[in-house]
Amino acid sequence: MCSSVHVWSDTRIYFKEAKSLAKKGFQVEFYALDFDGEKESITNLEMHYLPVLKRKDRHHHMRVLFQAFVESRARNFHFHDPELLFLAKKIKKKYGSEVKTVYDMHEHLPAAILTKQWIPRFSRTFLSKFIAAIEKYYLKWVDAVIYAEISYKKNYAKNQAIKTVDVLNYPIMPPEIKGIPTQKFTLIYVGVLTEQRGLFNMLELAKTLREKGCLDFKLKLIGPVFTDEDKVADFIVTNKLEKHIEQLERMQYKDIWEHYYQSHIGLCLLHPTPNNLNSHSTKLFEYMAARIPIIASNFPDFTQILTEADCGYTVDPFDPEGLADLVIKLKEDKKRTVEMGENGFRAFKKLYNWQCESEKLVELYEDFGKKIRLGIYE
């Protein structure tokens, strides 16, 4: 299992998939980018840490990963990045049906390219179509595609020859931490901080709360900032938000729960980009697992999920007045806030937890193993 883009402590790759497979007795050799954090020894899980390289240099990881696979006894190559489709082809050409290649798709890349900030706007449409064509070709060398989101499937309906499995990115049952919400009313967001993921929408919300006289609150932002940090700092200082904004670096999955338990509302104010509109943000389900109500963008799927579970509200992410009024409403109605949090936790336990998803992942590899033992090669 490998990634040339994600850090080793990535929640889906390491804490969910790699550890679930190892726990079921599979021997897992795991390659991902190095990152500071508490490293652990897990039975059946062999860790390898790749250096962090600039985007233009990441192709060097290809050589390392190919050589590592050749030297291993692995029967399966499970990869998490579109760029590793090139490596999947190389492995299939060398080993044929003796090895199964599995592409774990975290996003619909052609759609995502349309909103990538580091790609010049004028070239995005052409590049998206070009990437779609390249991806279609290289998928011929893949034995199975794992979808982290069901919405991606409609873009690959014609690839009937490929085995597909939905392994949705639902949370693991959180640890039992006796966390008590802080005295100061706390809004929280955990994840990569960019404009399209609602960074400035959340800052505008904080600004509006202050303007409305709501001063005893905190906005806690946890994750790397992938945008102009000076612009963020200037906004905070200009609007006198220094006492209201707490920024923390990326942290391991096991450590975020204490911060969730100390919070009162989970925010998910994504912009309505094609990729975001069709995704079920993992944050929604983590907030449910942590028993905190949710305020999210008013996307149809988000609205349906939160309405059915009665665990939060959706609103226009570009309406700071409406957002602020909703926060103040929840802040003043503690009984309703607790009730919505409990509703969300029940929905998480019943529908949105990792246990069921992990079983589908294990079943995929057990099926591969049976076919190899019986000499059945597709």
pLDDT band at 306 (very low <50, low <70, confident <90, very high): very high
Is the model's pLDDT at 139 over the cut of 90? Answer: yes
Q: Six-digit token pair at 95?
A: 């080993």
Q: What integer is the mean pLDDT of 139-158?
A: 86
Cα dihedral: 87, 90, 96, 99 (round 10): -30
How many CB atoms lie under 10 A from the CB of residue 154? Answer: 9
Q: What DSSP string runs through 177-234?
A: ------SSEEEEEES-B-TTTTHHHHHHHHHHHHHTT--SEEEEEES-B-S-HHHHHH
Is the C-alpha dihedral spanning 30, 34, 35, 37 positive or negative? positive
Domain boundaries, the chain: 2-170+354-374, 185-350
Q: What integer is the mean pLDDT of 72-84?
A: 95
How many CB atoms lie under 10 A from the CB of residue 98? Answer: 10
> What is the C-alpha to C-alpha distance for residues 97 and 350, in angstroms, rounded to an integer?
38
Q: Six-digit token pair at 297?
A: 């963008």
Is the model's pLDDT at 375 over the cut of 60? Answer: no
pTM, 2 dp: 0.83
> What is the C-alpha to C-alpha distance for residues 87 and 73, in angstroms, rounded to an integer?
17
Q: What is the pLDDT of residues 14-64, one digit of tens each?
A: 999 999 999 999 999 999 999 887 899 999 999 999 999 888 888 899 999
Identical topology for domains 2-170+354-374 and 185-350? yes
> What is the C-alpha to C-alpha distance for residues 107 and 113, in angstroms, rounded to an integer?
10
Q: Could you identify the residue written with the tokens 């990792």?
A: 354
pLDDT band at 109 (very low <50, low <70, confident <90, very high): confident
Q: End-to-end CA distance of the chain: give it in Å, rounded.
A: 21
Pick the CATH number of 2-170+354-374 from 3.40.630.30, 3.40.1400.10, 3.40.1310.30, 3.40.50.2000: 3.40.50.2000
Q: Six-digit token pair at 52?
A: 């962090």
Q: Does domain 185-350 have CATH number 3.40.50.2000?
A: yes
How confident is the model at residue 377, as a pLDDT? 47
